[in-house]
Amino acid sequence: MAGRLEDVESEMIRYYAARAGEYDDWYLRRGRYSHGPTTDAAWHSDLGAAAAWLAGRGFHGRIVELAAGTGWWSPVLAAQGQLTLCDAAPEPLEKARVRLAAAGLAARFQIRDAWSEPDTSADCLFAGFWLSHVDRGRLDEFLGLVARWLVPDGLFAFIDSRRDPESGALDHRPPVDDVQVRRLDDGTSFRVRKVFYEPADLESALDRAGFRQIEVIATDRFFVLGSARRY
């Protein structure tokens, strides 16, 4: 029976819900995410650089983390302020809850669409590997939303993917027209939106959205790191 095709954005939420138990394999270069000792060492070096960069951004006060997932970066944030983790899927957030509890850090958790209008204001907002899931045609809209979350002079920071064939799983092909097919360990597959924004594109978009002190840099191979302040 022919049905309405599910849109990529909804499929992406189902994907991350189903992937919650194996998500950190990507960070840890386990199983299908290992690309051999040389590449894996380069990955871990970039990951360490990203963590050090994030810790030095000056997070403070009320911190909102959108699309927080399993909370890989959340301990860095929760150590510096009152963190609220938001995600559309409960499964990854549950992993984040366990991670923060194990680290002895307090935080609030909210099932929340990243596109929902803010219901409070924040001193700082972080999004890890989320901008690359935002459609090119909606990037300005999303950054406008970020600006509405933040108090004047509030900090926005993000970490995201650079295009590199050895960043993802061995059995993943590059995106076509910004849509990528992702497979899980059990063989099921899902479509996600995946956009490799160039640092210059992100800087221009942040400028258009009314941010200042814009800085977008890249690690050696794998990540884009960005921060800016709301006017």
Ligand X SMILES: C[S@@+](CC[C@H](N)C(=O)[O-])C[C@H]1O[C@@H](n2cnc3c(N)ncnc32)[C@H](O)[C@@H]1O
Q: What are the b/e assignments for 194-203, b being 16+ CB within 10 Å?
A: bbbbebeebb
| Residues in touch with ligand X (CB under 6 A) | 12-13, 16, 67-69, 72-73, 87-89, 92, 113-115, 128-130
Element (H, E) at 124: strand 122-128
Minimum separation from the CB atom of position 57 to ligand X (A): 15
Nearer to ligand X, 132 or 230 (CB): 132
User: Within a 10 A sphere around the Cβ of 205, how many other Cβ atoms?
Assistant: 21
Would you call 192 helix, strand, or coil by DSSP?
strand
Minimum distance, C-beta of residue 207 to ligand X, in the bound complex (Å): 24
Nearer CB in complex with ligand X: 87/164? 87
Residues 36, 31, 163, 136, Cα dihedral to 10°: 180
**Minimum distance of ligand X from residue 127's CB (angstroms):** 7
The nearer residue to ligand X, 115 or 231, going by C-beta atoms, is: 115
- Report whether 88 contacts 9 (CB < 8 A): no
72 vs 149, beta carbon nearer ligand X: 72
CB of 215 to ligand X, least distance (A): 19
